[in-house]
Amino acid sequence: MKGERPISAAAAAAVLAILTLVACDSDNATGLPDGAVEVVLAFDGFPEDTMRIAITDTSAIRMARDFVSTRQGAKLPIGRIVRGSGIDHRYPYRYEPASVRFADFAMEVCDGAPMRTDSAVVEFMRGASGETNPTSATWCPWGAYPIAVR
């Protein structure tokens, strides 16, 4: 058309590269690692808080689905958390997907609400692990329960 400038080869290559990265990303549209299922957790006493986590253990996936459909059974998520956000970028930590299990109760160091800052995560990890500069710890938010499995 008159007045339109053709796209340069460099611009076309850049657009193609971006589209290829999006299409070939190993994570699906929700950012899930390969083989993982998304579980959405809610927290007693903190109705405004939800947390999306990735899990891969088939038994844990079944337990989460059972709880969502019946509101009965094991609901407390227990697993190893590491620093750095996961599929829910609102939080500065994530569960290691293969470590997540669901239980009726836990003997671990538990907390009632999701941590919002990196300093809160480090403080929790120090208390749970006894290490000065921890990179991970077991976390079981005692008021958490699954509300959706996707």
How do the domains of the chain map onto residue ranges? 37-149
**What are the backbone angles phi and psi of residue 17, rounded to the nearest 5°?**
-65, -45
Nearest CA to 143 out of 77, 63, 69, 66 is that of 77
**Element spanning 48, H or E:** none
**What are the backbone angles phi and psi of residue 128, rounded to the nearest 5°?**
-75, -35
Nearest CA to 137 out of 93, 92, 98 is that of 93
* pTM summary value: 0.78
Pairing of strands 110-111, 136-141: parallel
Q: pLDDT (tens digit, 9 = 90+) per residue, 74-124?
A: 999 999 999 999 999 999 999 999 999 999 987 766 777 899 999 999 999
Asked whether residue 23 carries a pLDDT value surpassing 80, the answer given is no
